[in-house]
Amino acid sequence: MSQKGPFPVDVEAGKSYFWCACGRSENQPFCDGPHKATDFAQVKFEAPDSKRVFFWGCKHSAAPVTCDGTLNRL
Ligand code: FES
């Protein structure tokens, strides 16, 4: 399920993550497959550094993966 707040995740440098764009994944913020029944597809994020990243949960941001404040205007 999508949510208004971002999902904080500690990512590892060089590792790839697949963010859920459709909101149907049971493993938010990551894709687990049910987007296949929609027009959406997962978005790949490659972590440049090991750090905490805020994957957005509202599914309305203009900048995929990162939280850009759009959720504050919902
Ligand atoms: Fe949402 Fe894959 S389950 S994009």
Q: What is the pLDDT of residues 15-66, one digit of tens each?
A: 999 999 999 999 999 999 999 999 999 999 999 899 988 898 877 665 667 6
- Looking at this protein, which amino acid is placed at residue 56? W
* pLDDT band for position 73 (cuts 50, 70, 90): low
Burial (CB count within 10 angstroms: exposed 0-12, middle 13-18, buried 19+), residue 19: buried
CA–CA separation, 20 vs 68, rounded Å? 16
Ligand 1 atom closest to the Cα of residue 19 is 4
User: Which of 7, 20, 39 maximizes ligand 1 atoms within 8 Å of its Cβ, making it the mutation to test the pocket?
Assistant: 20
Ligand 1 cavity residues, CB under 6 Å = 20-22, 24-25, 31-35, 40, 42
Residue 1 has pLDDT above 80, yes or no: no
What's residue 6's pLDDT?
86
